[in-house]
Amino acid sequence: MSARVSVEPSGRGTVVEPLIFDKSRPGHRAAAIEAPGVETATAAELLAGAALRQRPPAIPELAEPEVVRHYTRLSHMNHAVDLGFYPLGSCTMKYNPKINDELAALPGFTWLHPYQAEADVQGILELMWELEQALLAVTGMCRASLQPAAGAHGELVGILMIRAYHRDHGGAERDTIIVPDSAHGTNLATAKMAGYRVVELPSSKRGLVDLGTLAEALSERTAAVMLTNPNTLGLFEDDILEITRLAHEAGALVYYDGANLNAIMGKARPGDMGMDVVHMNLHKTFSTPHGGGGPGAGPVAVCARLEPYLPTPLVERRDAPGADADGPAGAGFHLVGDHPSSIGRVRGFYGNVGVLVRAYAYMMRLGGNGLLRASEDAVLNANYLRVRLHDTYDVPFDRMCMHEFVASASRQKHTTGVTARDIAKRLLDFGMHSPTVYFPLNVPEAIMIEPTETESRDTLDSFVDAMLRIDRESREDAAIVLEAPHVTPVRRPDETLAAREPVLRWKPAAESPEIS
């Protein structure tokens, strides 16, 4: 039972780390300090017989430093934005200033409880109100709900509001949503999930919405057009004003997927483009770390005609006691939940408040000019990479892009057999995360690159060096690329086997003996 676990040297000079269960040794534990003069009772003395377990739990036994080292070693096996470049297109994996985390961890925020009386939580309500005002200033919309927990959740909320609007305005038969094929995948999923028929709009040769095709697709059945802008090719829709005009003429509303607002903030506002609903991803543009799936926040902002449908409660500011006879009295900030047309609550309590604090801190620290500069740098960085790579890799829509662009490994695949996937794997050997590959679907061997505004010229140049070198290797010694990665703790797992027969749980080899 206490046989030593062997450690294997790996390519990177780290050790291959066994499961914590396999590291367990009977009797290893953290120091248990007895409090002098305090009577302690055993479980047997406290619990009735039937409630007592018959066998010890199969949990690992380790001393504190063993646990700390185990998890620290595991953390070193992952790539992270705090370790290296992470140009994952459509994800905005930018570096997030640590001060945002520090501020969100202030005890004044972390010790709040959602059931506290309104009078005791004026600070956080004020922050939420100001954050809403800041997001409205950036988007040019009328009001916003901070409740949705992610971008896709914001989309669903937006579409449910559009449905409620049509129901109240004689449009109950509108059962179709038009989604361009350059939209983010969640747009289609959202429309389907909300029960709509989806009409996919093929892009023009320029990778944009074609006005003629759109006009043909619009009808008295269209509830909405969902636009990802910039689209997943990183392109800003040239005819965006015409798109909203045509849609509105047909009685449809227009949804703006604003997950990647760092392409346009400070430069252009969805409200000025005629958009009816916009969602934002605070965990992308507004600087909350989101690797590993969360937590996030996807506030959704609306134009005046959709305001009555927003999820509740909303934070409202009252300037003087009793200023509004219908609402709660008293100056200050109030949670108001009695909007009769609201689609209701979409999230427990007030959303992911910690994420809201980070976004607030980020926006206040940058200010209007800082946000504008962030957009300009995001776009400049993407274009810099595009131009430095476009002689070596195909760039199907090779013109000014926004925060990201899509290259392709088609040339490499046809001449050397090296695919986008191989290039992605080889980048790991250079300490860089791969870009998004094989998305969007309308570009074969797609490599979708989003450097973000936080990277320096030096980092961008090292990425270019790596990409150029991988292309050279493909031509001169393709095996290096085809067999990559070479230095990671795990190389190329059998993805089919992992999907078909996943091993997700550790099971004890044999049952532990009964407690005597």
Ligand X SMILES: *Cc1c(COP(=O)(O)O)cnc(C)c1O
170 Cβ contact partners less than 8 Å away, ≥ 6 residues apart: none
| Residue 422 vs 450, nearer CB to ligand X | 450
- Using CB under 6 A as the binding rule, whether residue 440 contacts ligand X is answered as no
* Interaction between residue 203 and ligand X (CB under 6 A): no
Q: Assess 275 for contact with ligand X (CB under 6 A).
A: no
What 3-state class would DSSP assign to 174? Answer: coil
How many whole angstroms separate alpha carbon 503 and alpha carbon 26? Answer: 25
Which amino acid belongs to residue 497?
Answer: L
Give the 3-state secondary structure of residue 315: strand
Report which residue's Cβ sits closest to ligand X.
151
Residue type, 76: H
The nearer residue to ligand X, 152 or 273, going by C-beta atoms, is 152
Q: Are 149 and 297 a contacting pair, CB within 8 Å?
A: yes
Nearer to ligand X, 151 or 289 (CB): 151
Nearer to ligand X, 224 or 482 (CB): 224
CA distance 201 to 290: 31
Count the Cβ atoms, other than its own, within 10 Å of residue 204: 16
Q: Could you tell me the smallest distance in angstroms from the CB atom of residue 186 to ligand X?
A: 4
Q: How buried is 181 (Cβ within 10 angstroms: 0-12 exposed, 13-18 middle, 19+ buried)? A: middle
By the rule CB under 6 A, 156 interacts with ligand X? no
37-56 positions binding ligand X, by CB under 6 A:
none
* Choices 148-156, 435-443, 449-457, 472-480 (CB under 6 A): range interacting with ligand X: 148-156
Residue 345: count other Cβ atoms within 10 Å of its Cβ: 14
Question: Is the Cβ of residue 250 or residue 355 nearer to ligand X in the bound state?
Answer: 355
Smallest gap from residue 302 Cβ to ligand X (A): 17
**Under the criterion CB under 6 A, does residue 287 sit at the interface with ligand X?**
no
* Half-sphere exposure of residue 181: CA atoms within 13 angstroms, side-chain side: 14
d(CA 400, CA 338): 47
Evaluate whether 292 touches 266 at the Cβ level (below 8 Å): no
CA distance 355 to 375: 21
| 404 lies in the site for ligand X, by CB under 6 A | no
Measured CA to CA, the distance from residue 349 to residue 50 in angstroms comes to 39
Does 298 help bind ligand X (rule: CB under 6 A)? yes
| CB atoms near residue 119 (< 10 Å) | 10
Give the SS3 label for residue 414.
helix
By the rule CB under 6 A, 270 interacts with ligand X: no
403 contributes a contact to ligand X by CB under 6 A: no
Which of the stretches 128-136, 252-260, 328-336, 481-489 binds ligand X when contact is defined by CB under 6 A? Answer: 252-260
Kindly tell me which of 151 and 266 has the beta carbon lying closer to ligand X: 151
Taking contact as CB under 6 A, which single stretch among the options 4-12, 122-130, 255-263, 480-488 is the one that binds ligand X? Answer: 255-263
Is residue 285 at the binding interface for ligand X, with CB under 6 A as the rule? no
Q: In one letter, which amino acid is 143? A: R
Under the binding rule (CB under 6 A), the answer on residue 184 touching ligand X is yes
Rounded least distance, CB 281 to ligand X, Å: 5
Judged by CB under 6 A, which stretch of 24-32, 145-153, 302-310, 338-346 contacts ligand X? 145-153
User: Rule CB under 6 A: is residue 358 a binding residue for ligand X?
Assistant: no
150 binds ligand X (CB under 6 A): yes
Could you say whether residue 281 binds ligand X (CB under 6 A)? yes
Q: Among the candidate windows 23-31, 253-261, 419-427, 431-439, which touches ligand X by CB under 6 A? A: 253-261
- Our finding on whether 259 is near ligand X (CB under 6 A) is yes
Please name the residue ranges forming H helices in 82-145: 98-104, 107-110, 122-139
Contact status: 296 vs ligand X (CB under 6 A): yes
Is the CB of 294 or the CB of 332 nearer to ligand X?
294
Minimum distance, C-beta of residue 189 to ligand X, in the bound complex (Å):
10
- Residue 151 touches ligand X, criterion: CB under 6 A: yes
Least Å from the CB of residue 131 to ligand X: 17
What is the nearest approach in angstroms of ligand X to the Cβ of residue 498?
23
Q: Which helix (H) or strand (E) holds 499?
A: helix 495-500
Residue 4 CB coordination number (10 Å): 6
When the beta carbons of 217 and 226 are compared against ligand X, the nearer one is: 226
Count of residues for the chain? 516
Judged by CB under 6 A, the number of residues near ligand X is 13
User: Is 281 or 419 the residue whose CB approaches ligand X more closely?
Assistant: 281
CB-wise, 121 or 152, nearer to ligand X? 152
- Could you give the C-alpha distances from 297 to 86, 150, 154, 174, 484, in angstroms and in order? 21, 5, 8, 29, 36
Residue from 411, 418, 410, 416 nearest 445 by CA: 410
Closer Cβ to ligand X, 322 or 348, answer by number: 348
468 contacts: CB under 8 Å, gap ≥ 6: 389, 392
Do the Cβ atoms of 285 and 265 come closer than 8 Å? yes
Question: Quick check: 408 binds ligand X (CB under 6 A)?
Answer: no
Asked if 412 touches ligand X (CB under 6 A), the answer is no
**Residue 334 beta carbon to ligand X: minimum distance, rounded to whole angstroms:** 29
Position 94 contacts ligand X (CB under 6 A): no
Helices (H), 269-401: 353-389
Of 5 and 441, the one with the shorter C-beta distance to ligand X is 441
Is residue 229 near ligand X by the rule CB under 6 A? no
Which helix (H) or strand (E) segment is 153 a member of? helix 151-168
- Give the residue ranges of DSSP H helices in 338-404: 353-389
Residues in touch with ligand X (CB under 6 A): 90, 150-152, 184, 186, 228, 257, 259-260, 281, 296, 298
